[in-house]
Amino acid sequence: MRRFWVLFSSLLLAGSALAATPKPDDAAKSGVFKPDSVTTSGTVHAGGVTVNYDAVAGTLVVHPKDWDDAAAKDDKENPTAETSMFYTAYFKRGARAEDRPVTFLFNGGPGSATLWLHMGAFGPRRVVTADDAHTPAAPYAVVDNAQSLLDVSDLVFIDAPGAGFSRVTGKDAGKAFYGVDQDAHAFAVFIRDFLSKYGRWNSPKYLFGESYGTMRAAVLAYYLTDEMRADLNGVIFLSQVLNWDIYPDIPEANPGLDIPYQLALPSYAATAWYHKKLPKQRKELRPLLLEVERFAMTDYALALAKGNSLDPARRKAIAAKLHEYTGLPVSYILRSNLRINYGPFQQQLLADTGKITGSLDTRFEGPTMDPLSKSVDYDPQGAALSSAYVAAFNAYVRGTLKYGAGKSYKTSAGNFGDWDFTHAPPGVGSPIKSLPNVMPDLAAAMKLNPRLKVMLNGGYFDVVTPYYEGWYEMHHLPIPPQLQRNIEYRFYESGHMVYAHQPSLEKMHDAVADFIRRTAKPT
């Protein structure tokens, strides 16, 4: 299993995990789920305005592609696979559907619940955590969220099949929902049915995906546009990864492809700058990153392309430059063949202090489990924040939203080992058996709907989904030049969970709210 997903599933998404083979819980023993919902009300002051809202916590039942209603009814002893997908929707009271945008939000994993965006970023209540250190144990502070997006949009937080209060059951339920295309189909059907249930077909519509949720959002954008004729106003990405071939997790397993090292380098420089490990410490971050970006795509790219034919003197010169930008010893960089992986980088940068940096947010640091290990064994940010999010959401959903009695909330579906990563891009008849690349899906959605606007958000201190990788992907979409103008970028002095840094959360709220305001009305 690839290192990031071990870290991400076991730490950031720490909590109850489902077994590899899904089994019905008590609510699903009949083999047929029933939708349910509970409605409460509240008020939040966000974005400078007061919003009175109704909150609906509930489930919608979704079936896999090619589901046969008649066959399912005929075979009650061996029910067909289905999922009951949990959501929390916030509706501004008294707003007309056509005047009020609706944004569908989801985390990634794959198989993550969406408590992170819900309780950390844009829900009406937010858990308070330490900025770049371990948050003390309970009780945790939960406050009104002045950065909730309810000032500009209704919000629908969705838990993936098998995660949160979402459940799966029936024959081959894992195969039916645990995969790139299967997952996107389930979310698309959920969104379609939600629009029908709540009369929101004529509302401006947005997707907001984080991490693997960006991959889901790209596939969804095409699926909704092409198959369901539901044009979107905008797609918003946070901590993007669309093409796994250039993803920086264990790139040494794919020798000959050096672009992951180049795209991760600016994030290493940002990390070394933050921890004051640069040989020549700079006053400001952004000018340094512009310099490193240029080096990564020019001198560094040319040196890596030379492979073993690189001149020894040039090799030493590149190593010296990498030392200047990362703070790692020249001798270590030479032993690494000029190719720095983020796990060893985290282990080495603070080695003299007996600490490691975070993966998802390298501002965080923690004691190393094994100072002689090549790579890190855990993510300090995940260890620092997860308990606060889990406790806060469980208290909030049961106490305020009045949902979840007798049910366990699973922060992760625990389904990475069963995930089907094959994917059929637009124009391809059958799924491709390789690392997924959903850039063609986003490009096709933008071509089918040339008014679709796209926003990329990322954190400088994220070495798992480096901000520069997202920039690179967007600039290599197979779209006409004029459609590139539909994409905008916002980067922050934070990590993967940009919202874990309060000043960055404020900036991201303002940027996303402005994006929605500008794109919600036809021009």
Per-residue pLDDT of the chain (523 residues; tens, 9 = 90+): 344 443 444 333 333 333 333 344 444 444 579 999 999 999 999 999 999 999 999 999 999 987 766 555 555 566 688 999 999 999 999 999 999 999 999 999 999 999 999 999 999 999 999 998 999 999 999 999 999 999 999 999 999 999 999 999 988 888 999 999 999 999 999 999 999 999 999 999 999 999 999 999 999 999 999 999 999 999 999 999 999 999 888 888 888 999 999 999 999 999 999 999 999 999 999 999 999 999 999 999 999 999 999 999 999 999 999 999 999 999 999 999 999 999 999 999 999 999 999 999 999 999 999 888 888 889 999 999 999 999 999 999 999 999 999 999 999 988 888 899 999 889 877 787 778 999 999 999 999 999 999 999 999 999 999 999 999 999 999 999 999 999 999 999 999 999 999 999 999 999 999 999 999 986 6
- pLDDT of res. 376: 87
H-type helices in 283-379, by residue range? 285-297, 299-306, 312-326, 330-335, 342-349
- Classify residue 250: in a domain, yes or no: no
Cα-based angle 139, 461, 218 (whole degrees, multiple of 5): 95
Is residue 400 classed exposed, middle or buried when 0-12, 13-18 and 19+ CB atoms within 10 A define those classes?
middle
**Among positive and negative, which fits the CA dihedral 416, 417, 418, 422?**
positive
Q: Are 317 and 239 contained in the same domain?
A: no
* Pairwise CA distance, residues 89 & 105, whole Å: 10
Q: Are 290 and 277 contained in the same domain?
A: yes
Q: Are 41 and 186 contained in the same domain?
A: yes
Q: What is the DSSP letter of 198?
A: T
Q: Are 397 and 377 contained in the same domain?
A: no
Q: Are 296 and 401 contained in the same domain?
A: no
- Classify residue 146: in a domain, yes or no: yes
Structure-token pair, residue 197: 């249930």
Q: Residue 91 belongs to what H/E stretch?
A: strand 82-92
- Classify residue 134: in a domain, yes or no: yes
Nearest to 234 by CA among 102, 126, 366: 102
- Classify residue 99: in a domain, yes or no: yes
- pLDDT of res. 24: 40
- Classify residue 266: in a domain, yes or no: yes
Q: Are 167 and 287 contained in the same domain?
A: no
- Classify residue 345: in a domain, yes or no: yes
Is residue 197 classed exposed, middle or buried when 0-12, 13-18 and 19+ CB atoms within 10 A define those classes?
middle
- pLDDT of res. 72: 56
Range(s) of the domain holding residue 343: 255-381
Domain count, the chain: 2
Q: Which of 345, 362, 381 is the last residue of a domain?
A: 381
CATH of the domain at 34: 3.40.50.1820
Q: Which residues on neighbouring strands pair with residue 59, listed in sequence order?
A: 36, 86
* Pairwise CA distance, residues 254 & 246, whole Å: 10
Q: Are 437 and 503 contained in the same domain?
A: yes
Q: Are 178 and 310 contained in the same domain?
A: no
Structure-token pair, residue 222: 């095409």
Cα-based angle 236, 238, 240 (whole degrees, multiple of 5): 105
Q: Which of 351, 381, 411 is the last residue of a domain?
A: 381
- pLDDT of res. 143: 97
Residues 6+ apart with CB under 8 A from 355: 365, 366, 367, 368
* Pairwise CA distance, residues 176 & 174, whole Å: 5
- pLDDT of res. 57: 98
Cα-based angle 506, 511, 512 (whole degrees, multiple of 5): 100
- pLDDT of res. 357: 95
- pLDDT of res. 332: 96
Q: Are 297 and 232 contained in the same domain?
A: no
- Classify residue 498: in a domain, yes or no: yes
- pLDDT of res. 7: 42
- Classify residue 198: in a domain, yes or no: yes
Q: Are 51 and 129 contained in the same domain?
A: yes
pTM score, whole prediction: 0.93
Q: Are 21 and 52 contained in the same domain?
A: yes
Q: Are 343 and 262 contained in the same domain?
A: yes
- pLDDT of res. 410: 95
Coil, helix or strand at residue 60: strand
What is the Rg, in whole angstroms, of the alpha carbon atoms belonging to the chain? 23
Q: Which of 350, 366, 381 is the last residue of a domain?
A: 381
Residues 6+ apart with CB under 8 A from 467: 266, 267, 458, 459, 460, 491
- pLDDT of res. 19: 32
